[in-house]
Structures are given as C-alpha cells and as structure tokens.
Amino acid sequence: MATNSILTNTGAATALQNANSIERSRDALGRQQSTGKRVNNAVDNASAFTIAQVLQGDLKSYGAVEQGIDNARGVLAVTNAAATAASDQLANLNATVISAQNPANTSQQQAIYNADFQAQVAQLNQTIQNASFNGRNVLSAGSTSLNVLGNIDGTTLTVASNSAFSVATANLGAQTLSSPAAAAQAFSALQQAQASIATVLGNVGQDTRTLNNQSQFLSVLADATQEGLGSIVDANLGSVAARSQAEAVRGQLSGLTLNIANRQPQSVLGLFR
C-alpha cells in the first residue's frame, strides 16, 4: 500500500535521479558534439583513452621520421643538381681537352686551352663546394654517408657518400694542357672523372627512390593509424545529434514528472481540510 507523506517523497526522488541521469547524458553528448570525440579522457573510457594516447604518440613519431627523411631528400636534391651541373661541365671540358691534344696547336693556342681548362676545373670544384644542404655535403672530399631514421621502429636508411668524385676531380685538377702529351694524360683523368660522376648520378637516383618509397609507405602507415584512432575515439556526430534531441525530450518529460511528484505533499494537506 502506497504511503502518503510530506517527509518522504519517493516519486520526487526517483524523478530527480532520472533528471540528473538525463543531464549527465546530455553533458556527455555535448562534449562529443563540441570535440568530435566520444572518448575525451580516461573517465569516458580508460582503456580506449590509453590506446588512443599510444596511437597519438605514434602519429607524432611518424611526423618526426618524415621530417628526417625530408631533410635527407633535400640533401639528395641538392646533390643531384650539383652532379648534373658537374656532368655538363665535364662534357665541356671534354671538348677542351680533346682540342688541346692536337699536335698542330701553336704554343699560344695551347696556352689558351690550358687557361680555359684551369678555369673550368675551378668551376667544377666550386660546384662541389656548393652541393651543401643543411650543413651536409656528400660530394665533398672526406664526406661520410648520411644515415637517416626510416621508421619509428629504429630502422635506418643510408644516403651514400660520393666523395670519390672529389678525389677524381682533384686528380683532374692536377693536370695541365701545356702540351698535347700533357693533354692526353689529362684526357685519361677526365675519363675517370666522367665515370665517377656517372656513379654519383646512379647513387643519387637510387637513394632518392628509396627515400621516396619509404616516405610514401610512412604516409600510408600514418593514414592507417589515424583511421584506427578515429574508430576508437571519434564520435558518430549523426547519432549524437539524434540522441541529443531525444535526451532533450526526455529532459522535458523528466521535468514534468518532477513537478507532478512535487505536488504530492499538497494532496496530503487536502486530507486535513
């Protein structure tokens, strides 16, 4: 049998509990709508939030690795430009050295060829010195290979040093075209330099393709990680919007229920009239 009391209003207590529950649900839905996430902190879902934090760390790590690869690609881009310019300069030197081997040259002609040769070699050395990006020059004498982080697991990729070309260029610079015989010796050194620059261009092309492929792979991994992260923490905004409307209606009904329950003590007073 129901008890009428002005001290204990069970109906009002129940209605209030329901109203508070609805308000908490609306608050949670509001956070999801404002942030786009259904898991915003450990209180929402401790395990999902922990996994999401790890994945967020991985995404930042991918970005750091990609930055290092981009730096290495910058080194290779500058090296490729310098090696291409050096190859063109060697082609020009080839014509000069061959012309200087002509026994019919006068001493004046030979001197002109020699001066031109020295000027072109100086320009070639300047090209090597200018092949620097962010403080790294893999064409310069004594340069070492550049190791770059290739993945968040610690895997490294290597950009090969091409310092052998500087050695070949130094040998070429030690030659003269003072006579046809000297020009013939210089021609042998020039051929070695041409073979060396061909190797450089091959190395640069191979290393660039390797870095480009790894960069593309990292992009795929990052996208997959981002997708996985989204499936864990992202809110379904369409569903959230529909639920918000439903909760708003429930809130109105809860308010009406609470008002009705609060009028119960007034009915008890009517018994004493």
State the CB neighbour count (10 A cutoff) for residue 77: 13
C-alpha to C-alpha distance for 151 and 42, rounded to whole angstroms: 29
pTM strictly above 0.85: no
Three-point CA angle 269, 270, 273, nearest 5°? 100
Residue 256, token pair as written in the block? 């009406």
Tell the residue number behind the tokens 């290739």, with chain if given.
150
Instruction: Name the band, by pLDDT with cuts 50, 70 and 90, for residue 30.
Output: low
Number of H helices, E strands in the chain: 7, 2
Res 115 pLDDT > 90: yes
Taking only the tens place, the pLDDT of each residue in 159-204 is 999 999 999 999 999 999 999 999 999 999 999 999 999 999 999 9
- Structure confidence at residue 214 (pLDDT): 94
Least confident of 143-152, 174-183, 224-233: 224-233
For the 74-227 domain, the top CATH level (class) is mainly alpha
Cα dist. 208→7, 83, 214 in Å?
82, 14, 10
Could you tell me the pLDDT band of residue 34, with boundaries at 50, 70 and 90? low
